[in-house]
Amino acid sequence: MHTYLLFHKPYGVLSQFSGDDTRPTLRDFIAIPDVYPVGRLDHDSEGLMLLTGDGPLQHRLSDPKFAHPRTYWVQVEGEITEAALEQLRQGVAVQDYVTRPAQVQRIPPPPLAPRDPPIRVRHSIPDGWIALTLTEGRNRQVRRMTAAVGFPTLRLVRCAIGELRLADLAPGRWRHLTPPELAALRAKVVEPRKGPPKRSFRR
């Protein structure tokens, strides 16, 4: 039987169980054997992680070709414009690639505890929050996307992986998936059935 966990990764924690003892890792929070992160969050990002030892499910959720959605709450520097949001929706040029179209909208500040350490504050420059849903996960992609449209990321929190939600899971805490959550997750990532081979008829 595989184990399936949701974990709220705090800021500054590495998304791995091994490390050099200079920064906290997953092993400082999770003492469950044979679970591994499905994808990663940068050390300076926070939020929802899924961990399991279910290899086929890990592959389906991690492989970009399956376009599994992930949603982020993003605090950006400046009052983001509709033009910038539309750029994100269409896809933006980041380094040597163009991102896939994203779902994005302005949101009020989400119900999060203050970050430790706190974000930098510049009283002369406002900030705002957006919800951004991606179906790909390149290195530091969200930060590069918001910077590309002129609104650098100040704080980044993953709040959803598909239908799984961060909800009230506190930073540094984990829980098992509920049976309905696991059933819904498996239903989303199941391989499509192939129909019977077509018969050829010779006339």
Residues that are catalytic: 42
User: Which residues 6+ apart lie within 8 Å of 166 measured at CB?
Assistant: 8, 47, 48, 157, 158, 159, 160
The CA distances from residue 139 to 3, 136, 142, in Å, are: 27, 10, 9
Strands 127-134 and 46-52: unpaired
Q: What DSSP line would sit under 154-200, residue for residue?
A: EEEEEEEETTEE-TTPPTT-EEEPPHHHHHHHHHHHPPPPPPPPPPP
